[in-house]
Structure 1
Amino acid sequence: MKFRKISTAFLFAALASLPLAGWSPVSTASAAKIDPHTPVAKYGTVNTSVKPAGIKTFSDGGASLAYEGTGQQVSASQPTFNRVNPAGTGTVGTQSVIGTDQRTQVTNTTAFPYRAIAHIESDIGGCTGWMIGPRTVATAGHCVYDPGTRRWASWAKVYPGRNGSSTPYGYANAVNFFSVSGWVQNGDTNYDYAAIKLDKDIGNSTGWIGYRWQSGSMNGIAENISGYPGDKAYGTQWQHADQIRETYTLKLHYANDTYGGQSGSPVYESYHSSCGGPCSIAVHTNGVYGGNPYNRGTRITQTVYNNFNTWKAQ
C-alpha cells in the first residue's frame, strides 16, 4: 500500500474543522480577568439585580440610611456557647495599638449605635461586625473566609450589643456568607470585606449603621472604631476616635488603637447628613505593617457600597 505525503498545513486545517467534544472557544469577554469586586457566596449565587430601600444617590457619592431600631431587648440574656480566638491571629497586620492604648470600654452597649455593633463567633475565629439591615451584618472578608486554608466559616453566631456575658438582644445564626473574588480567590487585603446573612430580623431591634461613599480625599474626616478586641475581657466592646490620616483608592488609614478581634468593625462618622445618622466609610481590616505607622481599613468605594446594597437585599 502506498501512502501519500500530507502537508502539515493541510493536516492542521483538517483538524481545525472537526468539532471537539467538551470544548468550546473562549470568548474575549470570558477570558478577561475577573473583577476582584465580583460578589460570591458560600451557598448559591448572588442576585445582583435586586436593590434594597433606603438608598440615596448624589453626583459624587451615595449613602445607605441609618436606622435606630426599636431598641427592644430579649426577655433574658441568652447563654453563650463558644469562646473563640480572634480571626487572623498570627497573620501580619491584624492588631495594632499605636503608642499608649487610648481605647475606652463601651459600658452601655444598648445605646445606639453600639447595639448595632456585633461580636461574631465562628469556627475561623472571633471578629466584629455591624448591622446594615434587618438581617445583614457587614464585616471583614477574613472573618468569613480563610484564604490560607481556602475555606468558608461553617457556622457563625452574631451577638449585637454584647457586653461580656450579657447579650441583651440575644444572637442570630448565620445562614449564608458573602465576600468577593479578590478576597476568596486571591486573599488580597484590598478586597477584604464581606457580609453575613442571619436567620432572624435582629436588626429591627438593634437598628443599623448607615454607610456611604464619596469620590476624592477623605483626609481629616473624624471617625470612630468600636468593636470586640481579643486582648480585653471576652465579649466586651471598646472604642477609640481619631480621623482619616491617609486616603488611598481602596484603603483608608487612621491612628485608632485596635487589636485582633476588632477586624470587621465599622470605621464610622458619629453623624452624617447623607445617612441621617451614624455612617460608616470603611471596614477595619489591618494593623500597622509595611513601614506605614497607621491602621487601615477597606474603603467603602462605589463598588463596595453597591455590593453591600446587593447583599442586604438578598
Structure 2
Amino acid sequence: MRTNSADGSAFKSPIRTTLLASLVALASVAGSAQQTEEFDQRRQLLEAPPIPMPRGIEYSDAESRDPEMRRIVRYDPETGRASIEEGSQLPPEGNLFAPPYVPGVSAVPDRDDPEHAEAELDGLRGGTPPTPLSNATTYPWVSIVKLVMRFGNFFYNCSGFVFGEFQVVTAGHCIYNHDPNDDGSTADAAWADEVWIYPAQGDVALPAWNGGLAHSSDQPYGPSKMVFMRSYTGWTVSQNLDYDFGSITLDRRIGTYTGWMGMEATVASALNFSGYPTETPYVPSGTPLQYFGFDSGNVNGSTSFRIGLDAFIYGGHSGGPSWRFSSPNRWVEGVHSTSNRVGAAEDTRLNQTNIDNVIAWAQDDENVRPPFARPELVEYTHASGQKAISKTLVGRGEPIVVDYNNYNAGFANTGTITNRFFFSTNGIISDLDTLADTSLDAGLSPNTFRTASEAMTVPPLTAGTYYVGWISSSAVPEYSGDATCTNDPCSNVAILPTPVTVENCDADGYEDDDSSGQANLLGASTQSRSLCETGDEDWAFFNLAESSQVILQTDGPAGDTRMWLRNAGLSQIEFDDDGGPGLFSLIDRFCGVDPLPAGLYYVQIDEFGDNNIVQNYDLDLDVVACSLIEIFSDGFESGDLSAWDASVP
C-alpha cells in the first residue's frame, strides 16, 4: 500500500518541520539568573516543540523482511552503549493479541464483537480535526503519555502509550533520531540522552494553562524517567519507516496506576487515535493537552508493517496509539509515525513480531532491571478545588489561610512531609522567593493524597502582585530526574490559582476582624489600627455592666472613617461619618441624655468609599458608669470625667 497526499507525494515522505518555526519563545522573566535558568528548563520541558518528522526511506515488504532489519537494538543510557541482538522470525499474521489491563477491572478479551463495535469511540466523538481533552485521568486516556526527549541541547516532545507495569511503546524516531538538530544531515544521529514520561497530562486544576505560567499544566502522576530503550536496526541503521518503532523502560511501575490497552496484530476498518501534539498552527502554541480523533472507515489500507489512516495527526502525536474499541476493551493496532498534517497519516503496525517483542522486553526488564520503589510527591490534579487562599487582596502582616494538597504518586511511603510556602513575583516558586511559613505533615502511603490548611501571615513585602505556592519535600528520597525539583530531597512545586495583591499597608495586630464573629475586645487602652485593602473592616466589642456614658472615637494622621455602633443582635444603634477630628468618626452617648444600658455592643469601622488605605488610626473607648457620675457630679467638672475611663467588665 502506498497512499499519496494531495500533492502527489507518498505520505511516507514527511513534511520537514523547521525547528525555529516550532520553538516556543521563552518569556522574559524578572528575577535572579538562577530563577531564570530554572524557568527556562521548565519551559523546555512543558513546551518542547514536536520532534521533526522522520526522513525515512521507503522499502518494499520483501526488503523489510530481511533479518538484518529485524535485529533488536538495546540502549543503556548509563553506559551510553548500544548492543544488537538477533531478531525473531516473522510469524504469520493472524488474530493474535496481548490483553489489556485496567486497574480494578477484570478486562476479559472479547474476540467476537460485532463489526459495528469498531466505530465506537469510548463514549466521545472526535471528528476532524482532533479534539482536545482537558481531563485525561480516566481510562484509556490515562494510559496515553506525553514524552519529552533531550538530544544534547535540543528538547522535543512525542507521545506514547503504556504497556506493562513499567514500559511505554512509542515511535522509533522519538527515541533514536537521525537528525535531532533538524539541519538535513544525519551526522548527529543519536539516542535520546534523557526522556521524561508524563501520563495523563491535562488541564483540570487551576491555574488553567495560559501559554506562559511555569506551573500551569497538570501532571497527575508526575514525571517518570527513562532507564533503558529498544528499537530495531531497520530503524537505527537503515531508516526504514517500517521499523519506526521503539520501547522505553521506566524507573517506576506507573502502569499499575494507569493500566494499559491491549495490542492486536489485526487491522480494523476504523481506529481511534490520540497523543500530545504541539505543532502550530494546528494546535495552540505550547498546549499541554491530549488530542483525540476518530472517523468511521478512517483506515484506508495496510501492509505487514504499516497502516494508512485518513486522519489529522500533527507533530507531537508521533508515538501515540491507534486503537480499536471493542467494549469493554481497547486494542492498539498502530503507532503514529508520519503525517502530512492535512488528513493523510501512517502508523507503524503492531504486527505479531512487535507484539511478541514488547512482551519479551517487558519480561526481560522485570528480570534484569526491576524498578526500585520510591515516593513521588506531586500536586493532586485529578480533580479541581484542591487548593485555595482565603484572601487575594491583603496588607503586610495580615493573616491568611492556604488550602494545599499533596499526592504520593510513587510506590513507597514519603516519611514526614515538609511544606514551605512562598510568595513569588514571577510565578516561579523556588527557594529564592520570600518564605511565609513552614508546616510538617505525616507521611503519605503510595497512591494516596491529603488536603490540609495552613494559617500564616503575609510577609513584609513591597506592594505588588504575588503568586503564592508551596514546595513539598519528603523525608524519604524520591525518584531522581524530576525537573521541578529545587532541593534535595526532591520537591513538589505547586502554585495557587489566583495571584495575591499586597497593598502598601501594614495590617494591624487585630486582624482578622472583618466581621462580628471575629471582633476583638475593646478596652480602656487605645488600639492602633489600620484599614488596608478594599473590603477591610475593623470590628470590636465591649460589655457594659450597667447604664453608662460611652464615647467612641477614631483619630489619626490622615484618613476618612465611618463608624457604626450595634447591639448584641447587630442592629444599628448609631452611625457617624465625620463627627471626630478631621474626617474621622465620633459617637457619644451621655448619661441623662442617651446613655447605653447594660449589655453587649459591637463597633464596626470602615474607610469611607472603601477605596483608600487608612495606614494607621487610633480607636478609643471611654466608659463611665452613670451611677458614678451621679455620686461625684458635685466634685468634678465635666472635663474631669475622663479620669473614670473604665476597662470593659
What is the TM-score with the length of structure 2 in the denominator? 0.35
From the CA coordinates, give the structure whose radius of gyration is larger. 2
Q: What letter corresponds to residue 225 of structure 1 in structure 2?
A: F
Q: What letter corresponds to residue 312 of structure 1 in structure 2?
A: A
Q: Does 1:66 align with 2:97?
A: no
> How far apart are residue 182 of structure 1 and its match?
0.2
> How far apart are residue 226 of structure 1 and its match?
0.7
Q: Does 1:259 align with 2:304?
A: no
Contact 1:69 1:206 in 2 (8 A): yes
Tell me the distance in 1 between the aligned counterparts of 2:92 and 2:237.
33
> How far apart are residue 310 of structure 1 and its match?
1.9
Alignment length, in residue pairs? 238
Q: Does 1:227 align with 2:254?
A: no
Task: Report SS of the residue matched to 2:218.
Answer: coil
The change in CA–CA distance for 1:58 and 1:65 in structure 2 (over 3 A counts) is farther
Tell me the distance in 2 between the aligned counterparts of 1:58 and 1:70.
34
> How far apart are residue 35 of structure 1 and its match?
2.9
Q: Which residue of 2 aligns with 1:90?
A: none
Q: Does 1:39 align with 2:84?
A: no
Q: Which residue of 2 aligns with 1:201?
A: 253
Q: Which residue of 1 aligns with 2:158?
A: 127
| Identity level (%) | 26
Q: What letter corresponds to residue 148 of structure 2 in structure 1?
A: E
Q: Does 1:287 align with 2:334?
A: no
> How far apart are residue 200 of structure 1 and its match?
0.2
Q: Does 1:136 align with 2:153?
A: no
Task: Report SS of the residue matched to 2:318.
Answer: coil
The change in CA–CA distance for 1:59 and 1:163 in structure 2 (over 3 A counts) is closer
> How far apart are residue 209 of structure 1 and its match?
1.3
Tell me the distance in 2 between the aligned counterparts of 1:185 and 1:48.
14
Q: Which residue of 2 aligns with 1:7?
A: none
Q: Which residue of 1 aligns with 2:647?
A: none
Q: What letter corresponds to residue 277 of structure 2 in structure 1?
A: P
Corresponding residue to 2:195 among 156, 170, 177: 156
Calculate the aligned-residue CA RMSD, in Å: 2.7
Tell me the distance in 1 between the aligned counterparts of 2:71 and 2:290.
32
For structure 2, the 5+ residue unaligned runs are 1-65, 77-81, 106-126, 179-185, 204-216, 365-649
The change in CA–CA distance for 1:35 and 1:271 in structure 2 (over 3 A counts) is farther
Q: What letter corresponds to residue 39 of structure 1 in structure 2?
A: I
Q: Which residue of 2 aligns with 1:173?
A: 225
Q: Encode CA deviations 1:195-244: one digit per residue, 9 max, x unaligned.
A: 00000000100001110113xxx362x21111100133432100111331
Q: Which residue of 2 aligns with 1:237?
A: 290
Q: Which residue of 2 aligns with 1:249?
A: 304
> How far apart are residue 294 of structure 1 and its match?
2.3
Q: Encode CA deviations 1:7-46: one digit per residue, 9 max, x unaligned.
A: xxxxxxxxxxxxxxxxxxxxxxxxxx64312211112758
Q: Does 1:269 align with 2:324?
A: yes
Contact 1:126 1:261 in 2 (8 A): yes
The change in CA–CA distance for 1:219 and 1:205 in structure 2 (over 3 A counts) is closer
Tell me the distance in 1 between the aligned counterparts of 2:93 and 2:272.
26
> How far apart are residue 277 of structure 1 and its match?
1.3
Corresponding residue to 1:297 among 347, 357, 371: 347
Which structure ranks higher in relative contact order (CA pairs < 8 Å, sequence separation ≥ 6)? 1
Contact 2:70 2:86 in 1 (8 A): no
Q: What letter corresponds to residue 61 of structure 1 in structure 2?
A: N
Q: Does 1:109 align with 2:157?
A: no
> How far apart are residue 169 of structure 1 and its match?
1.4
Contact 1:61 1:302 in 2 (8 A): no
Task: Report SS of the residue matched to 2:316.
Answer: coil
Corresponding residue to 1:313 among 344, 349, 363: 363
> How far apart are residue 59 of structure 1 and its match?
9.0
For structure 1, the 5+ residue unaligned runs are 1-32, 50-56, 72-99
Contact 2:145 2:159 in 1 (8 A): yes
Tell me the distance in 2 between the aligned counterparts of 1:189 and 1:62.
23
Q: What letter corresponds to residue 123 of structure 1 in structure 2?
A: R
What is the TM-score with the length of structure 1 in the denominator? 0.70
The change in CA–CA distance for 1:58 and 1:106 in structure 2 (over 3 A counts) is farther
Tell me the distance in 1 between the aligned counterparts of 2:240 and 2:85.
24
The change in CA–CA distance for 1:46 and 1:181 in structure 2 (over 3 A counts) is closer
Tell me the distance in 1 between the aligned counterparts of 2:313 and 2:170.
15
Contact 2:336 2:347 in 1 (8 A): yes
> How far apart are residue 101 of structure 1 and its match?
4.8
Q: Encode CA deviations 1:85-139: one digit per residue, 9 max, x unaligned.
A: xxxxxxxxxxxxxxx9521111220110000000000114210000011100000
Task: Report SS of the residue matched to 1:253.
Answer: strand
Contact 1:172 1:198 in 2 (8 A): yes
> How far apart are residue 301 of structure 1 and its match?
1.1
> How far apart are residue 58 of structure 1 and its match?
11
Task: Report SS of the residue matched to 1:262.
Answer: coil
Task: Report SS of the residue matched to 1:133.
Answer: coil
Contact 1:37 1:303 in 2 (8 A): no
Task: Report SS of the residue matched to 1:115.
Answer: helix
Q: Which residue of 1 aligns with 2:402?
A: none
